Amino acid sequence: VVRTASRPLAAGDISTFQSFVFLGGQLSLALCVLLCLNYYSIILGAASLSLVITYPLMKRITYWPQLVLGLTFNWGALLGWSAIRGSCEWAVCLPLYFAGVMWTLVYDTVYAHQDKRDDVIIGVKSTALHFKEDTKQWLSGFSLAMLLSLCMAGMNCNQTFPYYSAVAAVGAHLAHQIYTLDIDKPEDCWKKFASNRTVGVLLFVGIMLGNL
């Protein structure tokens, strides 16, 4: 698409072979990290490969590639816990994982609205094309599910006041983001997408202070 035409592979600055060499290097480094973990985490990490491999194909198959991205991108919610504890405490990990998936659906749907005109032309699918003018209602539902899941995860691992304060701040941020979003202005979609770094910072600070 126009917005990504200057990226190295699309612009021809690197060859497909060179990109595979780079990918092989990245996967090799990732494997080295994974092998430093406990056996439970090694198996859990390897289990994510099916998602990693299939995600790039989803835009040609389903209008929900953002969901598959969420399932893939948030695997660290499970792996991070098991790397420290040696196993997953599912009462905490699953709500946290689900919250991450819902968050991905929010920000990547916003992101996809930047490219919807090009996507229609080239024949790829996205939640932006699926939701159309109902996008804000869907984003509101995903955000509510995210916040409830974060609260559930917090309750199941005895989080404290700073954590819930951060979750409330995240809710306010998402509400403002969705309310002011203009899905027909790519520059506004990018701005709202990028503002999700604030969500990550708020949650990180809340977890840190809650534990302290």
**Chain center to CA of 134:** 21
* DSSP 8-state secondary structure symbol assigned to residue 62: -
Predicted confidence (pLDDT) at residue 79 exceeds the cutoff of 90:
yes
Task: Kindly state the tokens that stand for 154.
Answer: 């917090």
- pLDDT tens track for 2-15: 788 899 998 999 99
State the Cα–Cα distance between residues 129 and 66, nearest whole angstrom. Answer: 12
For residue 78, CA distances in Å to 73, 81, 94, 110 come to 11, 6, 8, 25
**Chain center to CA of 139:** 14
State the Cα–Cα distance between residues 119 and 115, nearest whole angstrom. Answer: 6
Q: Taking residues 44-64, what's their average pLDDT?
A: 93
State the Cα–Cα distance between residues 177 and 146, nearest whole angstrom. Answer: 15
- Across the chain, what does the average pLDDT equal? 95
Task: Kindly state the tokens that stand for 116.
Answer: 């919807």
Domain boundaries, the chain: 1-36, 46-211
Predicted local confidence at residue 136, as pLDDT: 98
Asked whether the beta carbons of 63 and 129 are under 8 A apart, the reply is: yes
State the Cα–Cα distance between residues 70 and 102, nearest whole angstrom. Answer: 7
- pLDDT tens track for 194-208: 999 999 999 999 999
% of the chain at pLDDT higher than 90: 93
Predicted confidence (pLDDT) at residue 37 exceeds the cutoff of 80:
yes
- pLDDT tens track for 134-175: 999 999 999 999 999 999 999 999 999 999 999 999 999 999
The angle subtended at Cα 89 by Cα 84 and Cα 92, nearest 5°, is 105
Predicted local confidence at residue 5, as pLDDT: 86
Query: What amino acid occupies position 131?
Result: F
Predicted local confidence at residue 4, as pLDDT: 83
Query: What amino acid occupies position 126?
Result: S
- pLDDT tens track for 118-145: 999 989 999 999 999 999 999 999 999 9
